[in-house]
Amino acid sequence: MATPPQPDSPALHAEAAGVKRGGGAKAAWRNVLANASVILGERLAFGVVNIAAAAVAVRAVGFEAFGAVLLVHAYTRLFGDMLRFQSWQAVLRYGAPALADGRTQDLRRLLGLTLRLDLIALAGSITAAILFSGFAASIFNWPAETARWAPWYALAIAFMATETPAGVLRLLDRFGILALRHAINASIRLTGAALVWLLGIEGGTGAAALIAVWFLASVLSGGWLFAMAFLVLRGRNLLPRMRGDWSEMRAGFDGFWGFVLATNASTTLATTVVNLTILVVGGVLGASAAGLFGVVRQFADAFGKPAKLIGPVIFPELGRLRAQKRRRSLDGLMLRALGAGTAAVAAIAGVMALAGGPLLETAFGAEALQAYNLMILATVAASLSIWGFSLEPALLSAGRAGVSLAIQCSAAALYALTLFVLLSMGGGLTEVGVALLANAAFAFLARLGAVWKFRRL
């Protein structure tokens, strides 16, 4: 009779992390599909709920007041994303080998290190968001409701900075918990928006009520994720070890600081593009235009979000195959990923060609058709992210975080220049879509070329 794995054995931890030392591209792709199906199924359902929440909010208070809500949220996310560390990537990069080898104390030390970074970033983000809110109000011509509530809304950053808990749940194959977080957030938004509509709360009061709803959704969903990650770690005796100086905590994790800084900067640029665009659109074109951009973003996110969600799912599989120097399996997994992305892009193009306009009008009213061209361009840009969802994880797993950062910086610079020129020439929402598409196309092609160049093990 085979001896069962002991509580601290490598075999048990490899099994818990979903790490299978056998199997090639097919096995890795099956793992990706299994976890992705949980995430994507939930996000598809609750992406629809988020669109419904935005639609109800617009019906309740109009595009201008809803734009005020989006400006508050975008401002808060801008600082939260700009200063936080993408600790979940470090948890996967260094935690997967530790977990697979049964080095639980190293894993606890790693989690303590990333949690420290999260707490430092959290304090800095909230402080900066509060201090700069008055300055931002004057630059971006905020409505009164946005200027009044932005400093208070910044406290929600404490529940948005869930990087280490999210990394833990991905590492331990608990993707269902991550899925439920988004379900909680979307459900609270829809319920709150419906109450505002049914109670007939309009204008500035309606905007303030919706700001409170969006704040509550962030707090409750983020707090729930923290609690669940704590329970999972406690159940496995893997609670973070917080004691020790910085050098002691980092020992054994070669290249940690370079990896964290590069991945943080790269992801920060990507998220800053979206949040800063809302603020710029609101400042140049007005709160109503910001509201229109926001509802279009709901559609684009529904299509483009899978890329952000499946990237963390495929990351551990790419890292495993690369660590085992299985070149053919690695290439096979990448080809499967690009093939799946191609099919997804074709499906999205078909849906938008047949039903894009009617969907926009049905959800948000005839006024929303002003943003139809923007919706088409933004959706095409999002589809490019889906097509190349495996490219950035492939670069990171190859230790090319610096290359990924250089591509992101170049894409952001191109976007900023394009947006500035087009808006300076009197452009509107359609021109914003052109800039988004240029950014996505450049990033896709550059990453594809880099992955091909660095594909050798």
Task: State the residue for tokens 């075999």.
Answer: 11
The pTM score is 0.67
Q: Which residues have C-beta within 8 Å of that of residue 414, sequence separation ≥ 6? A: 438, 439, 442
The count of C-alpha atoms lying within 13 angstroms of the C-alpha of 53, restricted to the half-sphere facing its C-beta, is 26
Condensed to tens digits (0 to 9), the pLDDT of residues 12-35 reads 333 333 444 445 666 666 666 666
Please give the torsion angle defined by the CA atoms of residues 50, 53, 54 and 57, in that order, rounded to the nearest 10 degrees. Answer: -170
Q: Which residues have C-beta within 8 Å of that of residue 83, sequence separation ≥ 6? A: 121, 124, 125, 128
Nearest to 273 by CA among 422, 419, 429: 419
Nearest to 357 by CA among 344, 375, 345: 375
* Residues 100, 197: Cα–Cα separation, whole Å: 51
Nearest to 77 by CA among 267, 260, 235: 267
Nearest to 374 by CA among 346, 401, 352, 344: 352
Q: How many helices (H) and strands (E) does the chain have?
A: 18, 0
* Residues 207, 57: Cα–Cα separation, whole Å: 9
* Residues 176, 41: Cα–Cα separation, whole Å: 10
* Residues 322, 334: Cα–Cα separation, whole Å: 12
Task: State the residue for tokens 């800095």.
Answer: 124
Distance of CA 139 to the CA centre of its chain: 27
Burial readout 354-367 (b: 16 or more C-beta within 10 A, e: otherwise): eebeebbeebbeee
pLDDT of 4: 34
The identity of residue 307, as a single letter, is A
Token pair belonging to 134: 């008055």
* Residues 379, 373: Cα–Cα separation, whole Å: 10
* Residues 192, 203: Cα–Cα separation, whole Å: 16
Q: Which residues have C-beta within 8 Å of that of residue 187, sequence separation ≥ 6? A: 46, 49
DSSP output for 189-237: HHHHHHHHHHTT--HHHHHHHHHHHHHHHHHHHHHHHHHHHHHHHHHTT
pLDDT of 207: 86
Distance of CA 219 to the CA centre of its chain: 17
Nearest to 80 by CA among 186, 150, 158: 158
* Residues 25, 31: Cα–Cα separation, whole Å: 10
Q: Are 84 and 311 in contact (CB under 8 A)?
A: no
DSSP 366: G
Radius of gyration of the chain (CA): 22
pLDDT of 11: 33
Provide block-wise average pLDDT over 10 residues at a time, the chain (457 residues). Answer: 35 37 60 62 68 86 86 86 77 83 88 90 90 86 82 89 84 79 88 92 85 93 92 90 86 82 71 80 86 81 63 66 68 74 74 78 82 86 78 75 82 89 90 90 88 69
